[in-house]
Amino acid sequence: MKLPFLLLLFLILLSSCGSRKDIVFYQNSESAKEISSNFESRFKCDDMLRIFINTKDTEASLAFNLPVVSTILAKGGIGQLDYQSYLINNLGFIEYPILGKIKVAGLTKLELINYLKQQFKPYLKSDPIININILNYRISVTGEVAKPGSFNVNSERISLPEALALAGDLTIFGKRSNIIVLRDINGVKTINRIDITKTDFINSEFYYLTQNDVVYVEPNKTRVNASAIGPNASIIISGLSLLITVVALLIR
C-alpha cells in the first residue's frame, strides 16, 4: 500500500520545511513609512575616547593633545607616536588635561564637542576643531548566525541588519521573529526582543545598536527538535522507514 510510504514522506518534509513567514525579512514592506535616521549614540561607562584638538594656535592646543609613545616598536626600534585616550569611569567621568573631571556618559558626540568648545575659550584664541572617536566601539553577534563573534565598528553607528550581515547573516535555523538585543541602559542590563520579519521594527529604538550591545539569535523549532534527536536522527529515520515497510508488508 502507498499510504505508509506517503506518511513517511510527509513526516520527512514536515521536519525539514519552514514557513515563508518565518524566514523572510521586512514583510508587509509596502505599508512601511519613512523613518528618521537621526540616531546618535551616547557615550557610556567603559568607553575609551580619543579627543583631538586642532586649532590655529598649535602651541596652546598641545596642552590638550597629550602625546603617548606606543609600546609597540616600529622599524628601527622607534616607538610610534599616539595620543592620550580617556576611559569613562563607572561614574561617567573622564579626567581631562587642565579641565579636570568631566561628566561624559549620557552625552552625544555633538553635545560633548559643544561643551568642550565652551570650556576651551579661556585657553584657546581661536575656535577649535574637535575630533572625538570611541576606540573600543564593538558589538557581538551570537547564536544561529554563520560567523558569530565580536566586531569592531569604525563608523558613527551600526544597524541591527548591518550587524547580522557582519556575522554572515542568520542561518536557516535562526528564529527571525525573536532576535534578542542585550543592552546596558544606565548601568542596568536589559533584554530586548525584536521581530525582524515585521517591517515596523525599523522604528524600534533597537534598530540601531549601541556600543557593546550583544545580539543573540535564538534557534527555531526545527533546530531545537534536531538537537533533541541529536546524532541519532539518521538511525531514528531509518528505524521509522523499516517499521513502516514491515507494517506495509503485514497489511498486504
In a domain, 43, yes or no: no
pLDDT at 119 over 60: yes
- Regarding whether 198 and 125 lie in a shared domain, the answer is no
Most confident of 53-67, 177-191, 228-242: 177-191
Whether 198 and 236 share a structural domain: no
pLDDT above 80 for 31: no
Same domain, 203 and 148: yes
Look up the CATH number of the domain holding residue 99. 3.30.1950.10
CA angle 152, 189, 204 (to 5 degrees): 70
Residue 78 has a pLDDT of 56
Q: Are residues 191 and 123 in the same domain?
A: no
The confidence score (pLDDT) of residue 246 equals 63
Q: Which of 52, 58, 44, 14 is nearest to 186 (CA)?
A: 44
Q: What is the mean pLDDT of residues 180-187?
A: 90
pLDDT at residue 127, rounded to an integer: 87
What does the chain look like in DSSP terms, one character per residue? --HHHHHHHHHHHHHH---GGGT-SSBTGGG----------B--TT-EEEEEEE-S-HHHHTTTS-EEEEEEE-GGGPEEEEE-EEE--TTSEEEETTTEEEE-TT-BHHHHHHHHHHHHTTT-SSPPEEEEEETT-EEEEEESBSS-EEEE--SS-EEHHHHHHHTT-B-TTEEEEEEEEEEEETTEEEEEEE-TTBGGGGGSTTSEE-TT-EEEEEE-HHHHHHHHHGGGHHHHHHHHHHHHHHHHHHH-
Please state which of the ranges 9-13, 35-39, 61-65 shows the lowest mean pLDDT. Answer: 9-13
Identify the domain boundary among 90, 107, 134: 134
234 in any annotated domain: yes
Do both 29 and 148 map to the same domain? yes
Q: In this predicted structure, what is the pLDDT of residue 181?
A: 97
pLDDT at 5 over 80: no
Domain that holds residue 168: 20-37+137-223
Q: Which amino acid makes up residue 149?
A: G
- The pLDDT confidence band at residue 84, using thresholds 50, 70 and 90, is confident
| 91-106 pLDDT per residue, tens | 999 999 999 999 999 9
Q: Are residues 164 and 202 in the same domain?
A: yes
The answer to whether residue 42 sits within a structural domain is no
Q: Are residues 94 and 169 both part of a single domain?
A: no
| pLDDT for the residue numbered 70 | 56
Count: domains in the chain: 3
Would the pLDDT of 128 be above 80?
Answer: yes
Does residue 10 surpass a pLDDT of 90?
no
- Over 70: is that where the pLDDT of 22 sits? no
36: pLDDT strictly greater than 60:
no
Furthest-apart CA pair in the chain: how many Å? 101
pTM confidence score: 0.71
> How far is residue 86's CA from residue 47's CA, in Å, rounded to a whole number?
8
- pLDDT > 60? residue 12: no
pLDDT surpasses 80 at 40: yes
